[in-house]
Structure 1
Amino acid sequence: MPKKPNIIIFNPDQMRADSLAHMGNPAAITPNLDAFARNDAVSFSNAYCQNTVCVPSRCSFLTGMYPHTNGHRTMSYMLNSEETSLLKELKDDGYYVWMNSRNDFLPAQIKGIFDEHATETFYGGEAPSVPGLENPQIRGAIGGENFYSFYNGRLKLDEKGKNYTADDEDIDAAIYRIKNRPKDQPLCIFLGLMYPHPPYQVEEPYFSAIDRKKLKKRILQPVDLMSKASILKGIEEKQNLQSWNEEKWDELRSTYLGMCMKVDAQFGKLCKALKEEGIYDDTAIYVLSDHGDYTGDYGIVEKSQNTFEDCLVNIPLLIKPQKGIEVNPGISKSMVELIDFYATVADLAEVKPTHSHFGQSLREVLVEKNKEHRKYVFTEGGRLKGEVHCAEYWNSGENGVSPLNLYYPRLKTQVDDIAHTKATMIRSERYKYVRRLYENDEFYDLGKDSNEINNLINEPEYQGEISKMQLEMLEWYQKTCDIVPFKKDDRFSPEMIWSKLKKICPENKLEELKEFINNGAGFMKVIDWINEQNQNEE
């Protein structure tokens, strides 16, 4: 039996695909991930998440199912005790699974559930407190232009010249486990980072390393913002960033790229440890984020739960298989979904999934980089009218959202049933259609309008393509609306089988019948057995 590969799952939070230099961002500084893609891995430029917030996305890519399939489409509904995950399946297959506690897919109220999905969970919290912000007053007064910007700027350094965060602690703990791994089990590391999730803040040398002059042009707010989802207008008004000039936006955007630069350095540190241990080649490495970030595009920051601009849905996905699996390193333009990560890990590790899923292994695309993998990709979000959604925040202030909360603009807007409408995106290489339940749909010709500014939903020349994508979305929903579990339920208990079938069994076979039933024979098997006995009696 071939040796199982070690597995590293490196999972930064809220990282846009275009935050990587090899994806064409002239201001980005990501040398480790760039070299990784150039020499060892395939980096997918057209990888898309299935939900634009953390929990639903992680529940999706760790199961290979879409958020709607089992209802995992809110921040407050995670994988319950009846459900499995990629990590649990690896653990049950013999892997030593290490994860840090920031996983965002397991419900903390269920005692012992972390132990079902991981051999070891690292909680951390032992590192010294970080030195804090260089300007602790930067947020300003409530209602001011910075109050909801998520911008904190430069972080202080401690006496060692460091700003040692919880991410740094988790990285070092993962490296410790790599260096002190079990010798009789393959190792799986699931490393969920906080960076580059807002607030936008980072220390030197990352803060000043990004050349502000090399930043790509920000996607400006459309003149007619009402042609897009109304939640964008609601967030934009409440975040109150309209007075920001491009210099301020550049500082925020470069700080975000500085955070991505630090993530890249941490990834390099992890790979170095694998090489020092002599197990880099035998390790399959996966780098992926859960969703992206507006970072000033369209005049807003952070994210939204039911909008699907590429800055939110297009995420990094890099895959290096273990030695012995063919790979053609470089950039792939194939359209892929994050649920394909689940299928690929299971395939390369030769772990048989224990549940139905919709992922498609990328094994062949690792060799034929531009092979068509999917014609369409899908992302979904939002809620029904009156549906309780993200209830964990509804506990203070007017309508359950405190104005002191950094997330107030989004959470307050989400109270509006129309703004928080359930919505679904279908995207091809050229076109993007968004079905919105309670407001106008959206359609973009990405070949002419890559910034998704001009909503063409009512343009006559595109009605044929819109109808085609609507039918494709209907077919996708029909195929993925539910699953049949592998585990089957019995319709009849032993007592029911005995009571219904004892009268048609030969009297001299009743004791055998009882034993047969008690040994677990089902209803149809028992009928067949009785028929055989009756035939023999004749």
Structure 2
Amino acid sequence: MKKKPNIVIINPDQMRADTLAHLGNEASITPNLDALAKEGVSFSNAFCQNPVCTPSRCSFMTGWYPHVRGHRSMEYMLHDDEPNLLRNLKNSGYHVWLNQRNDLFPAQYPEKYAKYCDTYFRLPESPDSLPRDNWRGEKGESNYYSFFRGKVPPHKNLDRIWTEGAVEFIQEYDEEKPFCIFLPLMLPHPVYKVSDPFYSNVNRDKIQKRILPPDGFTGKPKIEKELNKLFNMDSWTEEQYKELRAVYLGMCNEVDFFTGMVIDALKAKGIYDNTVIFVFSDHGDYTGDYGLVEKAQNCFEDCLTNVPFIVKLPKEMGRRKGISDELVELIDFYATVEEIADLETTHQHFGKSLVPYLQKNEEELRDAVFSEGGFRVGESYCSETGGPNGLTEENLYYPRLSLQLSNEFTYNGKAVMCRTKEYKYIKRLYEEDEFYDLRNDPEEVSNVINDENYKDEILVLKERLLTHYLDTCDVVPLNKDKRMDSDFIELLYKK
């Protein structure tokens, strides 16, 4: 029987799709990812199902939308009674390698990690430490909540240690069964900081202009206006924002470097051609767009939801190459691995395998993509607590977390996005909805939800959203239960 292909999953954190040079960003330096896209397919219209870490990861590891099991909180992970791809791969004969970058499994049950992986790579050494807070401005200054640190001394960070661990695993692997490496990274998650050579590699003259918010944040959810106020960055010049964006691209350049390390190891081992490689991020980052940094729990601009998604199949399987503008979702990752690895179907899920498209047996994928987030009034337990010491104004995440914990809970009200190539509709539970004509307003600054000229298009997407919820609102377990005990059946049918 032919050996199943190896699987490598490189999962940067908070990386926007427009950070890839082959997708048109002239300031980006991503040669390894660009080369990988030429050998596989890079989906320019790939979208995450939630704009923050844990819910997105729970979604793409199950093939479920967040609403199927309530994965809308940063502190509700995947539990034993829920499906997950890594466990399914392990149970089907894969050697699964996983590092300590979690945001997926409950950390209070470390003894259960053995169910999900064969190798749990713990840090063999401490990363080089950097002074933590001496770079922040004084409280009330414009750099206090900006997440911007800039150039830092060369150091060995967590991602370098994890990548070296994955490379060593590849170099020494001698088992007959295939392996799966899940390599989630910290980069380019803020704080925005990077060292040379990555810092100096980025040409500041080529940095894309940031998107400015509409006056008074008209038409936008109120959390964006309040975050802008709390970040206190309106005094920043465009040169300062340009430098922040350059540092972020330097961090993405470092992600590309680590990707190259893994690819080189696969090639040196002679197994590159029989390895499936996925590179995708869990969600994006504002990076100065709309006067904001980092992310928000219930906002869905493309800078937050449009993510890199590159797939390279084994040499004999791949047919389609280069850039595709087909709409895809991160939940399609689960379905694609399920087909490639020939996994037993353990649960109903909603992903669409990309294999037929990648093999040119299919020409179209999705007509719309969806993302969702936020909380209902009364779900205060969904709010992040600010860490072991609780939430204080010194916490770097204070602006976002303070709004989650405020009495005006609708700052983080539930919302859902339905996006096609032409339009984006956002239904909000407690605020005015949003509708954007992406053909004429790709920056999403003009909310035309009340424009009569778009009445028909709005109704179409509302209907599409209703169909989506009806189709995906629940799952029925595959295993049937017995309705009656055997003694009762025997008495019932006794002659």
Structure 2 SS opposite 1:365: helix
Equivalent in 151, 154, 161 of residue 154 of structure 1:
151
Q: Of 181, 184, 187, which residue of structure 2 is paired with 1:195?
A: 187
Matched, 1:326 2:318: yes
Amino acid at match of 2:487: W
Pairing partner for 1:271 from 248, 263, 266: 263
How many Å apart are 1:488 and its aligned residue?
2.3
Match of 2:307 in 1: 315
Provide TM-score, normalisation by structure 1. 0.89
SS of residue in 1 equivalent to 2:380? coil
Query: Match for residue 398 of structure 2?
Result: 408
Q: Which amino acid aligns with 1:11?
A: N
Residue 90 of structure 1 contacts residue 351 of structure 1 at CA under 8 Å; is this kept in 2? yes
Q: 1:378 to 1:127 in 2, by over 3 A?
A: same
Conservation of the 8 A alpha-carbon contact between 1:153 and 1:252: yes
Tell me by how many angstroms 1:104 deviates. Answer: 1.2
1:377-456 equivalence runs, <5 A: 377-393=369-385, 401-415=391-405, 416-456=408-448
Tell me, yes or no, if the aligned pair for 2:187 and 2:252 is still in contact at 8 Å.
yes
User: Cα offset for 1:411?
Assistant: 1.0
1:254-279 deviation per Cα after TM superposition (whole angstroms, max 9, x unaligned) = 00000000000110011000000000
Counterpart code for 1:145: S
Match of 2:479 in 1: 487
Matched, 1:465 2:441: no
In structure 2, the partner of 1:501 is: 490
CA 1:369–1:43: 2 relative to 1, 3 Å: farther
Aligned to 2:109: 110
In structure 2, the partner of 1:15 is 15
Query: Gaps (5+ residues) in structure 2?
Result: none
Deviation at 1:240, TM superposition (A): 0.4
312, 325, 346: which is aligned to 2:338? Answer: 346
Q: Relative to 1, partners in 2 of residues 1:244 and 1:429: Cα closer, same or farther, differing over 3 Å? A: same
Instruction: Tell me the equivalent position of 1:119.
Output: 118
Q: Do the aligned residues in 1 keep the contact of 2:356 with 2:362 (CA within 8 Å)?
A: no
Q: Is the contact between residue 135 and residue 149 of structure 2 (CA under 8 Å) also seen in structure 1?
A: yes
DSSP 3-state at the match of 2:447: coil
Shift of 1:184: 1.8
Deviation at residue 143 of structure 1 after TM alignment: 1.6
User: Per-residue deviation at 1:444?
Assistant: 0.2
Structure 1 residues 258, 504: CA separation in 2 closer, same or farther (over 3 Å shift)?
A: closer
Give the partner amino acid of 1:35.
A
Equivalents in 2 of 1:55, 1:195: separation in Å?
16
Measured against aligned partners, the alpha-carbon deviations of 1:299-323 in whole angstroms (never above 9, x if no partner) come to: 0100001000000000000000113
**What residue is the counterpart of 1:179 in the other structure?**
171
2-side partners of 1:113 and 1:170: how far apart? Answer: 21
Check 1:491–1:279 CA distance in 2 against 1; reply closer, same or farther (3 A cut).
same
Q: Is the 8 A contact 1:76 1:389 kept in 2?
A: no
Unaligned runs of 5+ in 1: 158-162, 506-533
The answer on 1:231 being equivalent to 2:215 is: no
Alpha-carbon distance change, 392 to 410 in structure 1, aligned in 2, over 3 angstroms: closer
Does structure 2 conserve the Cα–Cα contact (< 8 Å) formed by 1:47 and 1:315? yes
C-alpha displacement of 1:13: 0.3
Residue 334 of structure 1 contacts residue 369 of structure 1 at CA under 8 Å; is this kept in 2? no
Contact 1:326 1:367 in 2 (8 A): yes
CA 1:443/1:334 → structure 2, altered by over 3 Å: closer, same or farther? same
Query: Is the contact between residue 127 and residue 158 of structure 2 (CA under 8 Å) also seen in structure 1?
Result: no
Structure 2 counterpart of 1:511: none
Partners of 2:317 and 2:359 within 8 A in 1:
no
Determine the C-alpha separation between the residues in 1 that align with 2:99 and 2:349: 25
Corresponding position: 1:145 with 2:142: yes
Structure 2 CA distance for aligned equivalents of residues 299 and 502 of structure 1: 72
Q: Tell me which amino acid in the other structure corresponds to 1:54.
A: C
What is the match of residue 2 of structure 2? 2
Task: State the AA in 2 paired with 1:175.
Answer: V
Return closer, same or farther for 1:286/1:258 CA change in 2, 3 Å cut-off: same
Which amino acid in structure 2 is aligned with residue 150 of structure 1?
A: F
1:365, distance to aligned residue in structure 2 (A): 2.0
What is the Cα-based RMSD across aligned positions, in Å? 1.7
The one-character-per-residue Cα deviations of 1:477-505 (angstroms, maximum 9, x if unpaired) are 01111100112223334xxx315534753
- Using the alignment, how far apart are the partners of 1:476 and 1:327 within structure 2? 31
Q: Could you say which residue in structure 1 is the equivalent of 2:26?
A: 26
Cα separation, partners in 2 of 1:486 and 1:170, compared to 1, 3 Å = same
Once residues 378 and 491 of structure 2 are traced to their aligned partners in structure 1, the CA distance between those partners, rounded to angstroms, is 53
Corresponding letter in the other structure for 2:149: N
CA distance in 2: counterparts of 1:267 and 1:139, whole angstroms? 31
Supply the distance in 1 between the matched residues of 2:131 and 2:268 (Cα, whole angstroms).
33
Matched to 1:458, the amino acid is N
Moved more, 261-270 or 380-389: 380-389
Moved more, 40-49 or 360-369: 360-369
Q: The residue matched to 1:361 in structure 2 has which SS?
A: coil
Whole-Å Cα distance in 2 between the matches of residues 117 and 326 of structure 1? 28
1:387 counterpart letter in structure 2: E
What SS does structure 2 have at the residue aligned with 1:238? helix
The CA distance in 2 between the partners of 1:500 and 1:379, in whole Å, is: 47
User: Could you tell me how far 1:125 is from its partner in structure 2?
Assistant: 5.2
Instruction: Tell me by how many angstroms 1:392 deviates.
Output: 4.5
Q: Residues 196-219 of structure 1, C-alpha deviation per residue, up to 9 Å, x if partnerless?
A: 000000000111111111011110
- Decide whether the 8 Å contact of 2:328 with 2:365 is kept in 1: yes
**Could you tell me how far apart the structure 2 residues matched to 1:87 and 1:435 are?**
33
Q: Between the two proteins, what is the percent identity of the paired residues?
A: 49
1:5–1:254 Cα change, 3 Å: same
Q: Which is greater in Rg?
A: 1
CA gap of 1:470–1:284, structure 2 versus 1, over 3 A, is same
Between 467-476 and 483-492, the greater mean CA deviation after superposition: 483-492
Distance 2:388 2:393 in 1: 9
Residue type of the alignment partner of 1:269: M
Deviates more, 1:331-340 or 1:317-326: 317-326
Per-residue displacement from partner, 1:391-412 (whole Å, max 9, x unpaired)? Answer: 4416789xx6311111111111
Gap change, CA 1:226 and 1:274, over 3 Å in 2: same
Contact 2:375/2:382 (8 A) holds in 1: no
How far apart, CA to CA, are the structure 2 residues paired with 1:178 and 1:395? 35
Tell me how far apart the structure 2 counterparts of residues 260 and 503 of structure 1 sit (CA, whole Å): 68
Q: For residues 391 and 186 of structure 1, what CA distance do their matches in structure 2 show? A: 40
Does the CA contact (< 8 Å) of 1:231 and 1:414 recur in 2? no
Contact 2:15 2:283 in 1 (8 A): yes
